[in-house]
């Protein structure tokens, strides 16, 4: 099949790309991630993917759209459910591009991360596949996560420390800084 691989970053591309190519598919990447904040972080992840894609001869469509405002308007007051909107926004756009490009299916590198809400991702991907008419190709890529982390380190790739949005950045650093603060003076 000709598969469009929605791609969140370079390190998460390693295993799904190998897996899909080993299955004999023709893979194209698609980078669309307005959930990554701030913009300079988005640029850094994009550049890391660009470099890896060149090395792997992976054609990638880089979406220059960065509708940060749309993302925030969608999730504000619903922050606890934000991942649901975030997945739907990105996968709907991937399905549109897959349909326009005559792809047989689409999938996402997000399925490699044990930190994502895997079942929700699958559910949304399949629903988007049905509504768009382009099947969502579900694979549980998580067994390859550790190996991909090791390879990305060997390759010296930039590895982000938080999922993407400002909320996840806060969760990553605010709690740890609170813990450090709590430890002070002991
Ligand atoms: S935590 Fe990650 S998946 Fe959830 S909304 Fe933020 S960027 Fe999107």
Contacts of 94 (CB under 8 A, 6+ apart): 4, 6, 30, 32, 106, 108
List the end-to-end C-alpha distance of the chain, in Å, as a whole number.
60
87: how many CB neighbours lie within 10 A of its CB?
A: 23
Asked whether residue 185 is assigned to any structural domain, the reply reads no
Q: Whose CA is nearest to atom 2 of ligand 1?
A: 163
At residue 181, the pLDDT reads 59
**Predicted TM-score of the model (pTM):** 0.93
Tokens read off for 48: 């890391």
Mutate which of 66, 124, 165, 166 for ligand 1? The one with the most ligand atoms within 8 Å of its CB, which is: 165
Asked whether residue 75 is assigned to any structural domain, the reply reads yes
Q: Which residue range(s) make up the domain with 142?
A: 2-159
Burial of 119 (0-12, 13-18, 19+ CB in 10 A): exposed
Asked whether residue 167 is assigned to any structural domain, the reply reads no
Asked whether residue 120 is assigned to any structural domain, the reply reads yes
pLDDT (tens digit, 9 = 90+) per residue, 81-121?
Answer: 999 999 999 999 999 999 999 999 999 999 999 999 999 99
Asked whether residue 165 is assigned to any structural domain, the reply reads no
Can you give the CATH number for the domain in which 115 is found? 3.40.50.620
At residue 183, the pLDDT reads 42
Say how many domains are in the chain.
1
Residues with CB under 6 A from ligand 1: 35, 82-83, 86, 163-165, 167-168
- Sheet with 2-6, strands from edge to edge, namely 60-62, 26-31, 2-6, 105-108
pLDDT (tens digit, 9 = 90+) per residue, 143-154?
Answer: 999 999 999 999
């Amino acid at each position: 099949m000709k598969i469009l691989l929605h791609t969140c970053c370079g390190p998460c591309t390693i295993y799904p790309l190998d897996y899909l190519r080993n299955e004999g598919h023709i893979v194209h990447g698609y980078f669309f991630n307005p959930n990554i904040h701030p913009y300079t972080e988005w640029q850094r992840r994009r550049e890391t993917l660009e470099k890896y894609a060149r090395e792997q001869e992976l054609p990638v469509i880089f979406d220059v759209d960065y509708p940060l405002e749309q993302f925030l308007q969608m999730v504000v007051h619903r922050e606890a459910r934000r991942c649901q909107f975030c997945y739907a926004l990105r996968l709907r756009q991937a399905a549109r591009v897959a349909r326009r490009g005559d792809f047989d299916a689409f999938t996402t590198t997000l399925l490699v991360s044990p930190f994502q809400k895997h079942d929700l991702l699958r559910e949304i991907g399949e629903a988007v596949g049905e509504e768009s008419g382009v099947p969502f190709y579900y694979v549980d890529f998580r067994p390859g996560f550790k190996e991909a982390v090791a390879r990305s380190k060997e390759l010296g790739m930039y590895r982000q420390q938080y999922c993407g949005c400002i909320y996840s950045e806060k969760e990553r650093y605010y709690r740890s800084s609170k813990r450090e603060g709590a430890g002070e003076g002991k």
